[in-house]
Structure 1
Amino acid sequence: MVISPDDYRRQAGFKRSVASRIGRIGSPPLSGPITAYQTYDLSDPALVEMMRGGRIGVAGVAVNEKQAFRNSTFFRAMSLIAGSLGMLPIHLMRRKADGTTEKAKDHPLFNVLHRKANSYQTAGQFRSHMQLAALLDGNAFALKIRSRGAVRQIVPLPRGRVTPKLSESWQLTFEYDRMNGGKVTLPASDVFHFRAPVSLDGLNGIKLLDVAADTLGLALTAQQAAARLLTKGSMARGALETEQTLGDEAIEHLKASLRDDYSGANASDDWMILEEGLKAKLFASSARDSQLRELMQGEAEEVSRFSGVPRPLLMFDETSWGSGIEQLGLFFVTYCLMPWFVIWEEAIWMCLLSETEQDTMYAKVNEGALLRGSLKDQAEFFKAALGPNTGYLSQNEVREAFDRNPRPEGDDLPRAGTTAAAVQQEDIEDAA
């Protein structure tokens, strides 16, 4: 480990400063040693933790974000959750005086949530970024930029630089550590904040990397063991044994025979003719080798438990994909994404709407895109919804679900016990 002269001078100054504070300069020797700083051995995992900013688990491996995302199961889980939140639109809704609802397209916040969050991010990119930050850090923070009294942009704040604080008078503020140095206190009215569902203090969510550090560390150790097996371990299937002594010419002849006559896919079922009393002996895999795959599979299952994503959606389960795919999608939305939907909706209502607007407006995540089944299932559903006796949807509502333009006569609900011809004739008579 090479230390530059500037670093050496800073460390020496630090030691002198600590020594002066504890009274060792110009004072009698103390009875026992005083440790003012902690030293690390170069092979100490704690040093790696300090330098990389990672989390050290039971495997003694420092796990940071870069290493965590190299775990295919963890990356798949994070991309599924963050991608799903970025894909699903969030609409700003308004509750009218007659009890009906409508999309508040005339409100400036509608475009911020639905189309463009800021000058460099679309609404989907903003949601994916914030969702991933909430998963990894437990919290997600963004700065609200107002113009003419309304929120026009939401700009994500740098990760790891915002700390929520609650004063003795129960006033919430956010301490922001600026990139160019210095700290500033931001009022709650300027910050859009939401956290992970589980929290120990009510302000900060639990970081997924902290709770999954042991699992990710063991998975990384298993991958490293597999890499050592491939690069330095023996990959031979077996050995040829004999009690006789083979000369160099016999050995070379045997190697050439194995290479020319018994290599390739065509020789998979051939029988070898051995000479000089040779006997074939297969290598038996050790218990350690056979358990390596089980360990990697077990750690993948642990990642599934931490993230809440169903096993088959993480692409490592042997469950066949068929009629159960719809149930998997329902499970994913209900038990994994639904808590995040509620968190997003409540955070938008609480942080982005004024007290007056909170009485009549709210945010709604449209999860229908994830719950749609096959065309056959949708046809059966809308057939029942448009039924003559139990119909509760109009034609235009069904057409809107498929992004089709409404029809002039499609806003009326179907009338029970009538046919289309009878309804048309009745309309003609009413018009006359």
Structure 2
Amino acid sequence: MLTSAVFGSDVAATVYGSPDPVSSPGGWLVRMIGGGKTNSGVAVSEFSALRLPVVYACVNRISNPIALFPLKMYRTRPQGGKELVQQGTGRGQHPFASRIGVRPNDLMSSRTVRKTCQAHALLWGNGYVEIERNGRNQGLGLYPLLPDRTAPVRENGDHWFRTTIDGRRHDLDPDNVIHIMDQSQDGFVGISQIAMAREAVAMGLAMETFGAKFFANEAKSGGFLMHPGRLGPNAQRNLTKPNGEKVSNPENPASRLDDQGGLENAHRIKVLEEGMKFVQTTIPPEDAQFLGSREFQIAEIARIFDVPLILLQSHEKTTSWGSGIEQLMIGFIRSTVEPWVDAWEQELNWKLFTDEEKEQGFYVKFNMNALLRGDMKTRADFYQKIFSVGGFSPNRILQLEDEDPIGPEGDEHFVPANMTTLRRASDPNFQPDPNAPSALREDDPDEIEADARAERDAA
């Protein structure tokens, strides 16, 4: 059962199954107001998680390709193939064709919209983009919605999205909201990666704080002031916390220890009993494998986002896929980025276009060739092989290399029969040109003489 709970005008959450108590540390309300405490004592929310460098890096590594890939609008041709849709209002044209990949709204670039929504999907588990439409119901703009103020709602068989903008609640038609998510339990609400991995993120944040306090204390561990007797009443009343404030209950020894313990007081000097002498603690960070623990947390969080460690500048005990960085990048794009690209394309192609436009074959597509085409030698070998079987025309190869076409004649396709065009090769009366420079006949006397000369030179 999908339950929607709304409190006031700007606190809304949709949960699957029985709702969590308001006081639950992992409940939606606690996460919305800043995140609850974890076992490490650190509060974690989708906002605070970005303060951990590895989380920030993982979000960047996935969001940047999504924002980088060219996004264009195409239309399938009745005779086969596709054509780039031109900006306009006529048949076969679209008023949003040239803006979708450049400026989907007047305030943001296409890169900004896509990177923002993708980051939301990676942190909150849900990214939302509202579609602006004209009087003909055609898409004219894309605007990102805040993930902590937006949620899908399903009641009495109806489905819509509810969001809060400038303190006012709005209900949006589901066909006007692009919803990007990954894993989900109910198919309507994505699972927040940060919520699922709160303890791992909290441990990373705790180690950041621990290390900072260690160096702030002159790279020395803390210690104790010990005294052989017990503190008298006056001494207990004068007992202060490390920052100088009075303890809450000086008569309670447990209270004194609690006031002086925890992550906030790491590396500070603790006061125990009278007859004081300073005793240095004997567990330095290297003995506690502090650096090793930090490397482990980097790997742990990288697994959440499915990002290879080498892409996070972490080279500790790592191996590469294939024979080098090229194969690693291709593997990362295909296994991590491409599923997100597919999620974007499915949502855009289903919701952006009207039924009439879908019948005409309109669709959008990300061009991922920029990160998948390999090095120059590999690309040249690929182009040569697919060109020789008539697969690519010269202009198509130039287009993939972001070069200018050579004119209408560059649209011809060629086959190996003396490298003639497919049209001429399909003519039954066509005879290969013996003088074609790209073809050497087996009985060519010049070729026979060249081979003989090469044999004599070798001898």
Same fold (TM over 0.5): yes
Q: Cα offset for 1:393?
A: 0.9
Structure 2 CA distance for partners of 1:320 and 1:143, relative to 1, 3 Å: closer
Q: Deviations over 1:360-419 (max 9, x none)?
A: 2222111111112222222222122222xx341110000111222212321111222205
Q: After superposition, where does 1:32-431 map in structure 2 within 5 Å?
A: 53-105=34-86, 106-149=93-136, 150-169=138-157, 171-181=158-168, 183-189=169-175, 191-232=176-217, 235=220, 289-318=287-316, 323-359=323-359, 360-387=361-388, 390-408=389-407, 409-419=409-419
- Partner-residue secondary structure (3-state), 1:85: helix
Asked whether the equivalents of residues 102 and 110 of structure 2 are also in contact (C-alpha less than 8 Å), the reply is yes
**Distance 1:111-1:45 versus aligned 2 partners, 3 A rule:** closer
CA contact (8 A) 2:23 2:30 kept: no
Identity %: 25
Offset from partner CA, 1:117-169 (integer Å, 9 cap, x none):
10111111111111111111222222222224221111222332222112323
- The alignment's TM-score, normalised by the length of structure 2, stands at 0.66
Residue 24 of structure 1 is matched in structure 2 by none
Q: TM-score, normalised by structure 1?
A: 0.70
Any conservation in 2 of the 1:115–1:122 contact (CA below 8 Å)?
Answer: yes
Whole-Å Cα distance in 2 between the matches of residues 365 and 424 of structure 1? 45
Match of 1:266 in 2: none
SS for the counterpart of 2:121 is helix
CA distance in 2, matches of 1:108, 1:38: 47
Q: What is the CA–CA distance in structure 2 between the aligned matches of 1:51 and 1:91, rounded to whole Å?
A: 36
SS of the aligned residue for 1:159 comes to: coil
| 2-structure distance, mates of 1:38, 1:164 | 20
Amino acid of the residue matched to residue 109 of structure 2? T
Deviation at 1:205, TM superposition (A): 0.6
Secondary structure class of the residue paired with 1:317? coil
- Alignment coverage as a number of residue pairs: 335
Instruction: Tell me: CA distance 1:424–1:143, structure 2 relative to 1, closer, same or farther (3 Å).
Output: farther
User: Match of 1:227, SS?
Assistant: helix
Decide which structure has greater helix share.
1
What is the CA-CA distance between 1:320 and the residue it aligns to? 8.1
When residues 175 and 320 of structure 1 are mapped into structure 2, their CA distance, relative to the original with a 3 A threshold, is closer
Residue-by-residue CA offset, 1:30-86 (whole Å, 9 max, x unaligned): xxxxxxx9999xxx999x967951243332310134432222211111011111111
Shift of 1:219: 0.7
**Unmatched runs of 5 consecutive residues or more in structure 1:** 1-36, 237-282, 427-432
CA distance in 1, matches of 2:22, 2:183: 33
Cα distance in 2, alignment partners of residues 205 and 45 from structure 1: 16
- Residue type at the aligned position of 2:307: V
Evaluate the alpha carbon distance shift between residue 289 and residue 230 of structure 1 in structure 2; reply closer, same or farther with a 3 A threshold. farther
- The alpha-carbon distance between structure 1 residues 234 and 92, as it changes in their structure 2 partners (threshold 3 A), is closer
CA separation in 2, counterparts of 1:142 and 1:234?
Answer: 48
C-alpha displacement of 1:311? 1.2
Partner in structure 2 of residue 13 of structure 1: none
- Counterpart of 2:300 in structure 1: which amino acid? E
Measured at CA, do residues 320 and 161 of structure 1 come closer, stay the same or move farther in structure 2, by a change above 3 Å? closer
Q: Contact 1:139 / 1:193 at 8 angstroms: preserved in 2?
A: no
> Conserved in 2, the CA contact under 8 Å of 1:56 and 1:214?
no
Contact 2:161/2:177 (CA < 8 Å) preserved in 1? no
What code does the residue aligned with 1:119 have? D
Shift of 1:350: 1.5
| Two-structure CA RMSD over aligned residues (Å) | 3.2
